[in-house]
Amino acid sequence: MTTRTGVSVPHTEYFPQPKPPRLAWRWASIVADDRSQLTRFWPVIQNMVSQELRVRYQRSVLGFFWTLLNPILMMTTMSLVFSQVFGVDNKLYAVYLFAGMVPWGFLSNSVTESAFCIIASEGLIRKIYLPKLIFPLTKLLINLTTFILSMAALFVLLIPLGAKLSFSLLLLPVAVLLLAIFTLGLGLIVATMNTFYRDCGHLVAVFLQAWYFATPIMYELSRLPERVQWRLWLNPVFPFIRLFQVIIYDGRFPDLTTFLAAAGVALVSLGVGYAAFKCHEDKLVFRL
C-alpha cells in the first residue's frame, strides 16, 4: 500500500461493477442481436405458422370457413337483436359491427393465445435453444393471417348489404399494421406475466371481455351522450377500432389525430412489452 500526500486522485473503484453508462446503447445492442437472431430463425417461424394453420383446419370439412362462420353468426345475431329489440334502424349496422368486431377478434385471440404460448412450448424450450421471441411472434402471425383472410372474405360477403368500396380502403393495411404492433406489445406483456404468475391467463380472459364492452364495437359512438364521448379516448384500443370503423363503415379517410394516437399507443405498447419480455427472457426457462 502506498500512501499519497498532496492532492489525491479521486479513488475510482466500483463495487459492484458499474452498469454500462448508456442504457440506450445496451438496448440498441439487444435489439440488433434480436434482429440477427430473428433473421436466422425466420424459417422456423414460417414453418411454425404454416404448420399450425394447417393443423387447425386439417380434417375439418369446412376448414377455413369456420373462421368466417363465427363472426357471421355473431353479426347476424347482433343485427337481429339490435334492430328488433333495441330498434336500431340502421341497415348498415352489420357493416358497422363487422368493422369493429373482426379487428377486435384478432386482438383478443392473439392476446389470449400469447398468454399461454411460452408455457405451451415448454417441451421445445427445455430441449433446444430458440429465441423466445419466436413464440409470441408466431401466435401473432397466425392470427394476423386469419384476420386478413377473414377480413377480405367478409367484406366481399357484406357488399350486398351495403359495404362500399372506396379509396379510403387503401389505408386499411396501415391500420392493420398499427393494430398488429399494438397487439404484439400486449402479447409480449401477457406472455411474460403468465409464465411467472399463472393466474394471469385467466384474468386476461375476463379483462378482455370487459374491455370489449368498454369499446364502441357493438354500439355506435354517436349514440353516446356528447359529454361522455371524450372518455373513449382514454381507452387505448379505441383509436385502432375507430380507424377501422372510419375506413370501412364511413368510407372516408380518418383524420390525422386518430392515426397519430394509434401509432403512439402502438409504439408504447410494443416498447413496454419488448422491454418486459427481454428483461425476463432468460428466467423463463426456470419457471416452466
Residue 35 is a binding residue for other proteins (CB under 8 A): no
Instruction: State the Cα–Cα distance between residues 112 and 133, nearest whole angstrom.
Output: 16
Residue 19 is a binding residue for other proteins (CB under 8 A): no
Q: Which of 41, 93, 98, 211 binds other proteins (CB under 8 A)?
A: 41
The span of 6-14, 18-26, 37-45, 99-107 binding other proteins (CB under 8 A) equals: 37-45
Q: Which of 200, 204, 237, 265 binds other proteins (CB under 8 A)?
A: 200
Q: What is the DSSP string of 114-180?
A: HHTHHHHTHHHHTTS---TTHHHHHHHHHHHHHHHHHHHHHHHHHGGGT----GGGGGHHHHHHHHH
Q: Where are the beta strands (DSSP E) in the chain?
A: none
**In the structure grid, which three cell numbers stand for residue 9, read together?**
486522485
* Residue listed under C-alpha cell 362500399: 164
Instruction: State the Cα–Cα distance between residues 70 and 105, nearest whole angstrom.
Output: 10
Minimum distance from CB of 137 to other proteins (Å)?
Answer: 15
Whose CA is closest to 117, among 169, 12, 187, 35? 187
Residue 59 is a binding residue for other proteins (CB under 8 A): no
Q: Identify which of residues 47 and 209 has a Cβ nearer to other proteins in the complex.
A: 47
**In the structure grid, which three cell numbers stand for residue 77, read together?**
345475431
* Residue listed under C-alpha cell 353479426: 75
Q: How many CA atoms lie within 13 A of 229 on its CB side?
A: 10
**In the structure grid, which three cell numbers stand for residue 72, read together?**
357471421
The span of 84-92, 231-239, 242-250, 278-286 binding other proteins (CB under 8 A) equals: 278-286
Residue 15 is a binding residue for other proteins (CB under 8 A): no
Q: Which of 44, 53, 88, 214 binds other proteins (CB under 8 A)?
A: 44
The span of 93-101, 107-115, 119-127, 212-220 binding other proteins (CB under 8 A) equals: 119-127
The span of 71-79, 109-117, 196-204, 241-249 binding other proteins (CB under 8 A) equals: 196-204
Q: Identify which of residues 75 and 204 has a Cβ nearer to other proteins in the complex.
A: 204
Residue type present at position 280? H
- Which residues of this protein are in contact with other proteins, per CB under 8 A? 40-41, 43-44, 47, 51, 55, 124-130, 196-200, 203, 282-283, 285-286
